[in-house]
Amino acid sequence: MTTHLPLYLAAFAVALGVLIVVHEFGHYLVARWCGVKVLRFSVGFGKVLWMRRFGADGTEWALAVFPLGGFVRMLDEREGQVAPHELPRAFNRQSVWRRFLIVAAGPAANLLLAVLLYWFLFMQGSEELRPILATPPAATAAAAAAIEDGETVLSVNGRPVTTWQELRWELTRVALDHVPVRLEVVNQRQEISIRLLATDAVEEDDLAKDLPGRLGLRLYRPHLAPVVGEVLPGSAAEQAGLRTGDEVLGIDEAPVTEWHEVVGQVRKSPGATLRFAVKRGDDVLTLKVMPSRADEQGQAVGRIGIVVRNDPAQHALLFTSVRYGASAAFGKALRQTWEMAGFSLRMIGRMLTGDLSWKNLSGPVTIADYAGQSARMGVLPYLNFLALISISLGVLNLLPIPVLDGGHLLYYVAEIVKGGPLSERVMEIGQQIGLALLLMLMAFAFYNDINRLISG
């Protein structure tokens, strides 16, 4: 992360800015629609760095020094004197249903952003790995299920999958409940079978790491000659002098015959110096390559920035092009957002009941790391990250914790049931409890960030 710190910080700042503006703009638009006067729209808290007035109401648009949030300040008798002619435009004078809509609009805007981003991504399309399985390691759930080399997964517990990423997602959904995984597979002889995988051995940390690997599901690898097809600009490989067309003969005097051997050695050597023996034309050269360090699902891995030489036949076997029309993409975007939001709530529920460790909670440092990693991978991965974080922010804000939007919504539900607003004393106590819970969550998140940095 430190090597690309400016990019990581910029990616995090852009993501944070977009999510805050979208969230607060949701509050702002619905407040205006309900006739409420908006006094200030602020990105950030604390000292104001920049401010301008716009609109018929002279709304203040501000940028403040602490950018970890924002707010929309509305006309409200509880916060100061309100002129008699403006009382109908005060937030506190609105019906409970209007107040509910205004508060709910922030999280709803974040969820809507995720839908729109996924819609664009599904229409844009991408090339993804097919869910083709390799021979599983011994003593794994996949081995016990008699998975064969080259079998392609068709569905997981009845839900169709067409890519490796979809397989990972469905496995995570199922494994969270510790129920058996039912794989429908087709082998190279076009015979369809059902494989049952036990999930008893799955631990909570596996959900955030290599869950397929924990079950013994490995990606099928045909023979790939260790020939470099592309060297990424600015990469460790370019700095070491590797070129397109180089054939890797060995690493640290160990012979290499398969591309995956190169990948495996590089991945397990972040920050170490590797001696590559490469054949270039008729010459054999020795090059010193130091893999850069990257975080992948909480683990440090090495990368040097090379791509295997493309074999069209093998490429067609391993990859599939996934693209949807506008209507199908929108439906898939809605389902994706709904499922991700539901999964986030389930994870939070498991943490509250003690079934899942609080170590799974991420703070700003980890999020900044993910932002930077996705930005390095390209625009589309970054937009996918933005959609995921937008869902997380929307779900978090809907939690019934006073201080958060969900806490205010809880008050309004109580007001509807009770037939009148809760007392100021009850709401004040609720705010204090909510603030304590929020600070505790933030402390857990920062603690986890520090632990991840220390452990690497």
pLDDT, mean of residues 113-117: 97
Answer whether residue 291 shows pLDDT above 70.
yes
Most confident of 20-34, 126-140, 392-406, 418-432: 20-34
Answer whether residue 160 shows pLDDT above 60.
yes
Provide the pLDDT for residue 76. 92
pTM of the full structure: 0.79
Domain range 228-307, CATH class: mainly beta
Answer whether residue 192 shows pLDDT above 60.
yes
Residue (of 254, 361, 235, 244) closest to 303 by Cα position: 235
Tokens 């929108």 correspond to what residue?
330
- C-alpha 135/C-alpha 137 separation (Å) is 7
Considering the chain, tell me which residue range(s) the CATH 2.30.42.10 domain(s) occupy.
141-220, 228-307
Answer whether residue 201 shows pLDDT above 80.
no
Per cent of the chain over pLDDT 90 is: 54
Question: Using 50, 70 and 90 to split pLDDT, how confident is the model at 383?
Answer: very high
Nearest-Å Rg of the Cα atoms of the chain is 26
Answer yes or no: 253 catalytic. Answer: no
- Cα angle 102, 107, 110 (rounded to 5 degrees) comes to 125
Residue (of 200, 115, 173) closest to 347 by Cα position: 173
Structure tokens of 38?
A: 């908006």
Question: Using 50, 70 and 90 to split pLDDT, how confident is the model at 204?
Answer: low
Share the mean pLDDT of the chain: 88
Question: Using 50, 70 and 90 to split pLDDT, how confident is the model at 2?
Answer: low
- C-alpha 392/C-alpha 16 separation (Å) is 12
- C-alpha 212/C-alpha 133 separation (Å) is 10
Fold of 141-220: Pdz3 Domain (2.30.42)
How far does Cα 14 stand from its chain's mean position? 15
Backbone angles phi, psi at 173, to 5 degrees: -60, -45
